[in-house]
Amino acid sequence: MNTQQIDSIISEVKGKYSIPNFIVLLFISSLLIIDFLPYFKSAEIINPQFLYLSVLNAIIAVYFYFNPSLIAADTFSSLKRSYIFKLYLAFLFFCAISYFVAKNTSLVFTKFTEIVIVFGLFINLSILLKNKLDLLYKIIFIVSISALIQSWEQLCHFIIIPRHASIMDLLNGMKGNTGNINILAASLTIKVPFLLLGITHFTTYKKWFLVFILFSVTSVIFLTGARTPLINLFLIYSIYIIYLLKEFSFKRTTVSKILFLIIPILTAILFANSIFQKSKDKGRYVSLENRVSQINTKDESSKARLIFWNNALKMSKKNPIIGIGLGNYQVESIPYEKTTSNDSTVSLHAHNDFIEILAETGIINGLIYLSIFIGVFIINLKRILKPKNKESQTIALLTLLLLIVYGIDSFFNFPMYRPTMAIFFSLILALTLTN
């Protein structure tokens, strides 16, 4: 009996005692439904979304409970050995003890519940994806279909403009089921790395299908006028193209692959600018070039963020060890914003998850949270530069690109409390652990 036959027998035995592929793919598909949930009369979409995630967590946990033999034997030992997992537990601990210093303890309970739901999702994904990373391109295709539906929910209004509807109303009304136009853009941007890998992998009709999806997704991103996704698109495109050139050099096939990635985004730029011209707007929707030029500290939105960050850092000085209480930024910020805001609205978030966590749960936990990102970055970078095999390198590359999108968004926004983004944080950690 040769080595190939032995490997075949081992694979067959493993297949009989592992989680079925359709369960893994069904769970991933179920997660992506989060972008299409109705509000259910809730004031914020995040409430039914987090409830939905908790139900999914419970269902898959029950499945694991009744089918323990399907769980890979080394899953939990891998978790225990992982310093990313240990950092995550430490992060949860400091979030929990901030309860004792919070002025509004109900906010601590609410936000901690949301964070625990995301942590539970990370554990469940780690169990599901253990020894299942051969499903990568099926997962990529599922995510791509989700991105197509999500983007065309918005694009259809611009292809066939309703009678008596103005372009400005359509542009301002873009938010999908994310609750906010910027979150819609972020939700689509974090799906772009899947499309990039899919386009360069597939060779048949699937390649052209994903090219069309990439055009659709980037068109909506550009139409939102959100600037953080522009930074992210530039970074992930640059990194991926450099990777392709390094791996395959300047061959004709490599140039062809790069063109398949660039042409859709150039077409999307032309499409978005044509819509902007029709809007005749003088602010956010003048042109894509104008939005890029506004990426500076002199812009009003940038100035507001700098004020929020400065206020959060001032709050952190109240209790630098334990913080002001998880979720309490939105109430503690009021005295600070009295002197900087001219209207009755206050910021609910610091628009920087790292600074917000530092202010709410202390300097130690702020460093722990940042360390999770640094650790994941280093682990996946090593796997790209010194891969065990091609599959491991590809998964590490995808994880790194996802981390960049999520990390940059965390620096300028608050994806930690947005389920449409938080599910990808869980996936990033799970892929890092199981790869």
Taking only the tens of pLDDT, the chain with its 435 residues reads 555 555 454 444 455 568 999 999 999 999 999 999 988 888 889 999 999 999 999 999 999 999 999 998 888 899 999 999 999 999 999 999 999 999 999 999 999 999 999 999 999 999 999 999 999 999 999 999 999 999 999 888 777 766 667 777 778 777 777 778 889 999 999 999 999 999 999 988 999 999 999 999 999 999 988 889 999 999 999 999 999 999 888 788 889 999 999 999 999 999 988 888 877 766 677 667 777 776 766 777 778 888 889 999 989 888 899 999 999 999 988 887 765 555 556 678 889 999 999 999 999 999 999 999 999 999 999 999 998 899 999 999 999 999 999 999 999 999 999 999 999 999 999 999 998
Say how many CA atoms lie within 13 Å of 264 toward its Cβ. 25
Residue 117: closest CA among 47, 44, 57: 57
Backbone φ and ψ for 280, nearest 5 degrees, come out as: 55, 30
Q: 423 burial class (0-12, 13-18, 19+ CB within 10 angstroms)?
A: buried
Chain-centroid distance of CA 15 in Å reads 31
**404 in Cβ contact with 232 (< 8 Å):** yes
E runs forming strands in 90-197:
none
Q: Taking phi first (over 0 means left), then psi (-120 to 50 degrees means alpha), and beta for anything else, what does residue 227 get?
A: alpha
**What are the Cα distances from residue 288, in Å, to 67, 219, 233, 277?**
52, 11, 13, 10
pLDDT value of position 226: 86
pTM for this model (two decimals): 0.92
Q: Which residues of 89-99 are buried (b: 16+ CB within 10 A; e: fewer)?
A: ebbbebbbbbe
pLDDT value of position 253: 85
> Two tokens at 138?
């099926």
Torsion sign across C-alpha atoms 219, 173, 234, 192: negative
Torsion sign across C-alpha atoms 337, 340, 341, 342: positive
Give the chain's radius of gyration (CA, Å): 22
pLDDT value of position 341: 56
Quickly tell me which residue has 């819509």 as its tokens: 275
**101 in Cβ contact with 322 (< 8 Å):** yes
Strand (E) or helix (H) holding 195? helix 192-201
Q: How many CB atoms lie within 10 A of CB 143?
A: 23
Give one DSSP letter per residue of 339-381, joined into a string: TT-SSS---SS-S-HHHHHHHHH-HHHHHHHHHHHHHHHHHHH
